[in-house]
Amino acid sequence: MNDAARGAGSVAAAVAALRGARFFEGVPADILASLASEAEFIEIAAGETLFHEGDGSSDLYVLRSGAVAILRRQHDGSNLRVGDIFSGETVGEMAMLTGAARTATAIALRDSELVRLTREAVGRLVARDPEIALAIARVLAQRLAAANTATRGVARPRVFAILPHHALEARRVATFVRGLTGALRVFGAVAAIDGAHRESPRGVVQRAEAQNDYTLLIGDGGDPQWSAFCARQADLALLVADARMEPSTSPAWGAPHAPHSRHELQRELVLLGGQSPERRRAAGWRDAAQHDFLHHAESGADLPRVARLITRQATTLVLSGGGARGFAHLGVVDALMEAGLALDMFGGSSMGAIVAAAYAGGWPRETVHDRLRRAFVHGRPLSDPAFPVVALFRGRKVERLLEQAFGDRTIEDLPLPYFCVSSSLTRAAPAVHRAGLLRHWLRASIAIPGVLPPVVENGVVHVDGGVMDNLPIDAATALLRGPVIGVDASGEEEFRHVDPASPPLWQRLLGGRKAGDPTIMEILYRVGTVGSVSTAQRDEEAATLVLRPPVGRIGLLDWRSFDRCVAIGYDYARRMIAERPELFAGLRRAPGDSALAPEGRAAL
């Protein structure tokens, strides 16, 4: 191709890029052509910096392909990611107009191609044709008006790199890709690109991204170079392995790119098969895969959940503490599931942590009810009194009951994503647990100060999660997975012992306790959790929806009210779903078996 032809092609490509940018909407075609003649194409690799906050450069960039993160420096020196820029958007328009220093840093999240317009070039055109200034001013005024009513946030991932472990059979990779593609089609058009496009991959990816809502770039476990290319184009990398394999790294996975930018590619591990705990080795993959999030997929029926989680459209259910009042969570979950809501991730504090672990563990409804009734109603967890130096009870009975229920399962081995929260007295902050021995961290999350001994781990003292965060909504929203439903069963609207019966004679003689007075355990529980009462308003603002079943008249330690409390939660949730359907309108529904294609039910 001669220089003239190449130049004409570049101008045409620049015109197309400018025409596709919202910043230049309404600008006449001849003016766009004039701007394009002054434009320059640049490419930056994933992790490279386009410009730094404080730079004096005032060029304007139009993103033709790829993605760019916008970061702003905080008072402590850290960088806050305040937005993402995708194809068709501009970067640096304010600096171009005002000539002021850059107010943020721009870093490429993926290999990106941009069209650069210098301030001087735009200035020369403005001097030649004032209509350019009017057109740009008009568009900029619209952008500024929009900026006053909305902020540009971190967008959902749209391009995914599928990076299979080199030891994973190609047949299983293909089955996984087909199933995930079908699950993503619920949300929009999907393109899948494999190694057959090695010769001209960049153009294929650009066209696929422009024409589809989601793009899957299928890596090759035997070709690290192609897999690395896929990772550089992606918003999110899915590392795929067999749950039954001995954990190991893979050349196809490489390392997270751009470590110098502190904005590495998000890496999420998908373990196929191995649903039974004895066949799982999820905890061992932590070092091998260096992943940020973990998915389990035993069959194609699990892939709709994976699709919701990776596209940030999953629903997380967060359950509060509340002692015996927490049994209301079972009724609420029953009602939500009956309504067809897809509950994709569970978390909780104190009693809510135990109930959430049961559901994240994949227990059927009957099993959840039977095991929790047996443990708390018949098991009498607080029946091993101690000389009250550290606590009123030794906690060994609680530990045995937790071991009977959950065994040696780790949090990573649970079929559904899960977290629980304890309160770190050492660090004076909530501690979020997403890994480790499940029963160990459940024991920490229910360690009511003065009632049960604390859990000490590496010199850090952990007590009941309700002390600092009884409804850990923030822990869920920080994961950026989609809507968050909170269920507050604390019954904080009233604190009083409601049993009018006269207390035992020994309590009246030794302790002076009268009918209607709270017990020492109820007082300790209230003292231990009262600090998180003030977070109720914050929870309302952070969550998509907070449900508060009316359990205030159930005693905090009245385990015998199990069935009554479950019924209260169930009736309340069903009434809310029937009377306030708008509250649940934006939540995803779980597909029934009939909605899954035959391959969607196949083992992975």
pLDDT tens digit string along 27-67? Answer: 778 878 888 888 889 999 888 999 999 888 788 899 988 88
Closest-CA residue to 174 (of 204, 205, 195, 197): 195
Are 441 and 412 in contact, with CB atoms under 8 Å apart?
Answer: no
Q: Name the 3-class secondary structure at 105.
A: strand
Q: What is the pLDDT of residue 385?
A: 67
Are 50 and 66 in contact, with CB atoms under 8 Å apart?
Answer: no
Q: Name the 3-class secondary structure at 472.
A: coil
Q: Averaged in consecutive runs of 10 residues, what is the pLDDT profile of the chain (604 residues)? A: 41 82 74 83 89 87 88 84 82 78 88 88 73 64 51 71 94 95 96 84 83 93 89 92 90 62 75 67 85 93 96 96 94 96 96 97 94 87 67 80 91 95 93 95 91 90 91 93 94 53 47 57 62 65 92 87 96 95 85 54 69
Q: What is the pLDDT of residue 33?
A: 84
- Tokens at 338, concatenated: 């009956």
Domains of the chain, start order: 1-148 (2.60.120.10), 159-309 (3.40.50), 314-492+516-583 (3.40.1090.10)
- The DSSP bridge partners found for residue 215 are 159, 191
Separation between Cα atoms, residue 153 and residue 157, nearest integer Å: 12
Are 85 and 68 in contact, with CB atoms under 8 Å apart?
Answer: yes
Separation between Cα atoms, residue 412 and residue 281, nearest integer Å: 9
CA 114 to chain centre: 30
At 129, the amino acid letter reads: D
Separation between Cα atoms, residue 381 and residue 395, nearest integer Å: 8
List active site positions: 350, 464
Q: Name the 3-class secondary structure at 29.
A: helix
Separation between Cα atoms, residue 265 and residue 255, nearest integer Å: 9
Q: What is the pLDDT of residue 135?
A: 63
Q: What is the pLDDT of residue 4?
A: 33
- Tokens at 330, concatenated: 């079972």
Q: What letter would DSSP give residue 14?
A: H
Model confidence over 159-188: pLDDT tens digits? 999 999 999 999 999 999 999 999 999 999
**pTM here?**
0.84
- Tokens at 435, concatenated: 């890994």
Give every strand in the sheet of 190-193, ordered side by side. Answer: 190-193, 214-218, 159-164, 236-242, 266-272, 293-297
Separation between Cα atoms, residue 337 and residue 554, nearest integer Å: 24
In this structure, the number of other CB atoms found within 10 A of the CB of residue 515 comes to 11
Q: What is the pLDDT of residue 129?
A: 67
Q: Name the 3-class secondary structure at 293.
A: strand
Ranges of H-type helices in 290-347: 303-310, 328-338
CA angle 115, 118, 120 (to 5 degrees): 155
